[in-house]
Amino acid sequence: MEIRKIHDKEFKLFIPNSQIRAVISAMADSMNRDLEGRDVIFMGILNGAFMFAAELIKHIAPSCQITFLKLASYAGTSSTGTVKRLIGINEDIHNKTVVILEDIVDTGITLENIIRQLRGYEPGEIRVATLLHKPDAYQKDIVLDYVGLEIPNDFVVGFGLDYKGFGRNLPDIYRVVAS
Ligand code: IMP
């Protein structure tokens, strides 16, 4: 069993890179079917979604745009509940199909905040794609249009996801070992 130590916590291998890539490829297949003929802009939420976005976009067939937005809402292993301003919207998204790319939807507080702010720019529609989802932690009613994998309510790192700023570079996803 492969174990990684990051700061004070140990993490064990949970989702290997081959499985992550297969899941993302399947998500792209669904999007390619759904989004054909639409004016689509993908919006990756930094920092966590950079790897997911990079892998996904390689499999997207229709002509599209991709950009990255940023907000910070997480410290350590629990949601702070604080919401921050979305920065980096330089494109005109009026009447476009916006596909939000998230690394993980946990409580959904961050996602709700992002959607509320994006609506102000009057996109045609907003869809949500998340690599990981923790249904047991989810507190919102927002429909998640594309979900890679549903996972238990445990803290995970790797493939863009961090613990206190570290672990984003790991190609696989690791799950915290209960201490
Ligand atoms: P939410 O607002 O609770 O849905 O949390 C969303 C954000 O919290 C994600 O975009 C991540 O940045 C972070 N997050 C939630 N769960 C985890 C986790 O297990 N590992 C790393 N980051 C997480």
Report domain extents, the chain. 17-150
Q: Cα separation of 108 and 126, whole Å? A: 15
For CA atoms 40, 107, 177, 168, the dihedral sign is: positive
Closest residue (by CA) to atom 13 of ligand 1?
74
Place of tokens 């993302």: 24
Distance 36 CA to ligand 1 centre (A): 30
**142 near 115, Cβ under 8 Å?**
yes
Kindly state the helix (H) or strand (E) to which residue 16 belongs, with its residue range.
none
Nearest-atom number in ligand 1 for the CA of 49 is 10
Condensed to tens digits (0 to 9), the pLDDT of residues 131-144 reads: 999 999 999 999 99
Model pTM score = 0.94
Q: Is pLDDT of 77 > 80?
A: no
Q: Given pLDDT bands bounded at 50, 70 and 90, which one contains residue 88? A: confident
Geometric angle at alpha carbon 162, from 165 and 56, rounded to 5°: 125
CATH of 17-150, one of 3.40.250.10, 3.40.50.2020, 3.40.50.300, 3.30.450.40: 3.40.50.2020
d(CA 108, CA 103) in angstroms, rounded, equals 12
What angle is formed at CA 73 by the lines to CA 71 and CA 74, rounded to 5 degrees? 130
pLDDT band at 84 (very low <50, low <70, confident <90, very high): confident
pLDDT reported for residue 75? 44
Looking at this protein, which amino acid is placed at residue 39? D
Calculate the average pLDDT of the chain: 93
Torsion of CA 48, 53, 66, 64, to 10 degrees: -160
Q: Does residue 157 register a pLDDT over 90?
A: yes
Measured from CB, residues less than 6 Å from any atom of ligand 1 are 48, 73-74, 79, 102-111, 155-157, 161
Q: % helix / strand / coil in the chain, to the nearest 5?
A: 25, 35, 40
